[in-house]
Amino acid sequence: MKRAPLPISAFTVTSALGAGQAAHLAALLDGRTGLAPCAFGDVQLQGYVGEVPGVDAVQLPEALARYDCRNNRLAWLALQQDGFADAARAARERWGAARVAVLLGTSTSGILQTELAYRRRDAAGALPADFRYPETHNSSSVAAFVAEALGLSGPAMVVSTACSSSAKVFASAARLIEAGWADAAVVGGVDSLCLTTLYGFNSLELFSPEICRPWDAKRRGLSLGEAGAYALLEREAAAPEAWLLGSGESSDGHHMSSPHPEGAGAVAAMRQALDEAGLAPGQIDYINLHGTATPGNDAAEDRAVREVFGVDTPCSSTKGATGHTLGAAGAVEAALCVIALQQGLMPGGLHLDERDPALQANYLGRNRHAPLHTVLSNSFGFGGSNASLVLGAA
pLDDT in tens, 188-203: 999 999 999 999 999 9
Q: Positive or negative, the Cα torsion across 82, 84, 278, 162?
A: positive
Q: Residues 378-387: what's their mean pLDDT?
A: 85
Q: Are 143 and 156 in contact (CB under 8 A)?
A: yes
Asked if pLDDT for residue 216 goes beyond 60, the answer is yes
CA dist 130 and 111 (Å) reads 15
pTM exceeds 0.85: yes
Q: Which of 114, 15, 70 is nearest to 318 (CA)?
A: 15
Q: Are 375 and 286 in contact (CB under 8 A)?
A: yes
- Amino acid letter at 332? V
Instruction: Output DSSP code: residue 278.
Output: T
Q: Which CATH superfamily is domain 6-393 in?
A: Thiolase/Chalcone synthase (3.40.47.10)
Whole-angstrom CA distances from 185 to 90, 239, 326, 386 are 12, 17, 22, 22
CA dist 280 and 264 (Å) reads 19
Percent of the chain with pLDDT over 70: 97
Q: Are 13 and 227 in contact (CB under 8 A)?
A: yes
Judged by average pLDDT, the poorest of 198-207, 231-240, 374-383 is 374-383
At 383, the pLDDT band (50, 70, 90 cuts) reads low
CA dist 143 and 102 (Å) reads 6
CA dist 154 and 100 (Å) reads 5
Task: Convert 13-41 to b/e letters by CB count within 10 Å (16 or more is b).
Answer: bbbbbbbbbebbbebbeeeebbbeebebe
Residue 34: per-residue pLDDT = 98
At 177, the pLDDT band (50, 70, 90 cuts) reads very high
Mean pLDDT of the chain, nearest integer: 96
Asked if pLDDT for residue 129 goes beyond 70, the answer is yes
- Amino acid letter at 39? A
Asked if pLDDT for residue 257 goes beyond 70, the answer is no
Residue 263: per-residue pLDDT = 72
The helix (run of H) or strand (run of E) holding residue 186 is strand 184-191
Q: Catalogue the active-site residues.
A: 163, 290, 324
Collapsing DSSP to helix, strand or coil, 250 comes out as strand
Collapsing DSSP to helix, strand or coil, 378 comes out as strand
Asked if pLDDT for residue 21 goes beyond 70, the answer is yes
For the chain, the first-to-last Cα distance in angstroms comes to: 22
